[in-house]
Chains A and B, each alone.
Chain A
């Protein structure tokens, strides 16, 4: 059964895409959850929708817009956000929420004027991992590798800023600059995740695995690794389940994500009681 599934070229491509995206989404999502910024990540995915729609309207492939706009927006969000621990939290949430709504509206408008928009809209919103073509796959892999290289380069400073913003500031670290740089990488991760599960469901790929990992480990590096493993398991299991049932892949990926999260909470609660 499985070996039969693996013979399809589109399935191989999908598995490879899921691998690349899971590594990036698992790590970036973990850091977003640590910093309690998953909402900003959620907003970025909607901005990716606006970017992709605008690209379609311009007659381009959606990917450049899908990556470009959230990267720009990530820089902006990172720059306006105050370092943790000081005022501005609620106002920032409202601003991010409004940005999210506005992005969906802009995307809708672009699609309204673009031709052939119905199937495009569905695959943007809910993902189309089985329809990824070779060119997109290679672009995706290249972008993921570049983003991972960026993360590897800044990970020490980034952890310092996320976990100890006051100390980092006192040490002369440019806290906002680091955060803005990370949010740009988050924009890349969100766009990549949206290729798999669609912009509306990136939360399930970027937040469920890290939130589950969080309950299972007390060390950030282990946590990021567990998060990646869970994201990958979720995607690959989703592909298999979809192959067997013929349901949309995204449905299974989200379902496994929610299940892993609930399970991790139950296990985490038992660990706590020890």
Chain B
């Protein structure tokens, strides 16, 4: 499976390892609307970090700010010891699913990969191998299932073996089985590439056994903590804006709405 050094977990958030992404007193806003105020945290290199927040909390905006596409109103964002700006190498992204124009669905996925990475045939092939997507890539995009399509989009984030993966809701629209598979796949790839993963999601259950840390946005505050800290009823209520319940049993923990 993996030949990366050792089987031990990636460094915990807050450990001494240098940060892949560092926020220092960052405020993010759209127009007059502030989404995030005075956020400070560092994502440890090699960590799998879940990003949570209600619809409109600012998850996508936060990821775009790491890419340098949203300028912070205050504070500094550092990616691998250099200020965030567009066009940095070594970052793979999976944008939040958008409506594809009908004509795009008639293309093979490989065409999309080649458009984004011209002249990088071998790197594209390697990325497709990582997700076991060589055969899928030549089929019509519109003829693929949601899970298959998501695997190919993931492949495109992996071209060039990036050190940081920004994955915006890769589980949206997938059935529970496919969700578990995608999470396991991403976790395996992260170890293989020794990459840091920032993974946004609405349902935290599929990530509970996998993530090293949770980053969450609630009431314009951003917190980074161990996943266990997220599992307190009051924290979850604030996150989802609804009463939540944590159920544990058979060695597992599940979060469900309380009703």
Q: Are B86 and A218 in contact (CB under 8 A)?
A: no
Q: Max chain A CB contacts within 10 Å: which of B67, B91, B111?
A: B111
- Compute how far the CA of A145 lies from the CA of B138 in the bound complex, rounded to whole angstroms: 33
**Is B116's CB under 8 angstroms from A163's CB?**
yes
By the criterion CB–CB under 8 Å, are B116 and A218 in contact? Answer: no
Interface residues of A in 166-192 (CB under 8 A from B): 166-172
Alpha-carbon separation in the docked complex, A162 to B104 (Å)? 9
Q: What residues of chain A lie closer than 8 Å to B108, measured between beta carbons? A: 218-219
Q: What total of chain B residues lie within 8 Å of the partner, measured CB to CB?
A: 26
What is the CA–CA distance of A33 and B107 in the complex, to the nearest angstrom?
12
For A167, what are the chain B residues with a Cβ–Cβ distance below 8 Å?
93, 95, 116, 156
Known A33-B103, A34-B101, A34-B103; contact A164-B116, beta-carbon cutoff 8 A:
yes
Given A170-B69, A272-B143, A218-B107 contact (CB < 8 Å): yes
Q: Is the CB of B106 within 8 A of A170?
A: no
Residues of A within 8 A of B102 (CB): 36
Please, how many angstroms separate the alpha-carbon atoms of A255 and B111 in the complex?
A: 32
Would you give the 0/1 interface string for B166-196, flagging 1 where the beta carbon is closer than 8 Å to chain A?
A: 0000000000000000000000000000000
| A220 within 8 A of partner (CB) | yes
Q: Check if A170 sits within 8 Å of B86, measured CB to CB.
A: yes
The B-contacting residues of A in range 121-147, CB under 8 angstroms, are: none
Contact assessment for A218 and B140 in the assembled complex, using a CB-CB cutoff below 8 Å: yes
Interchain CA distance A219-B106 in the complex, whole Å:
9
Whole-angstrom distance between the Cβ of A87 and the nearest chain B Cβ: 11
Give chain B interface residues in 32-70, CB to chain A under 8 Å.
67, 69
Per a CB cutoff under 8 Å, which of A160, A169, A211, A215 touches B115? A160
State in angstroms the CA–CA spacing of A211 and B101 once bound together.
Answer: 12
How many interface residues does A have (CB within 8 Å)?
28
C-alpha gap A218/B143 in the complex (Å): 12
Q: How far is the CB of B201 from chain A (nearest CB, A)?
A: 18
Report the minimal beta-carbon distance from A86 to chain B, rounded to whole angstroms.
Answer: 8
The answer on a CB contact under 8 Å between B101 and A164 is: no
Interchain residue pairs with CB less than 8 A apart (16): A84-B98, A85-B95, A159-B115, A163-B111, A163-B112, A163-B116, A164-B156, A167-B93, A167-B156, A168-B116, A169-B86, A218-B111, A219-B107, A220-B107, A223-B107, A272-B143
Q: Which residues of B contact A (CB under 8 A)?
A: 67, 69, 85-87, 91, 93, 95, 98-99, 101-104, 106-108, 111-112, 115-116, 118, 138, 140, 143, 156
- In addition to A34-B101, A35-B103, 10 A-B residue pairs with Cβ atoms within 8 Å of each other are A34-B104, A36-B103, A85-B99, A163-B116, A164-B115, A164-B156, A167-B93, A170-B67, A214-B106, A218-B140
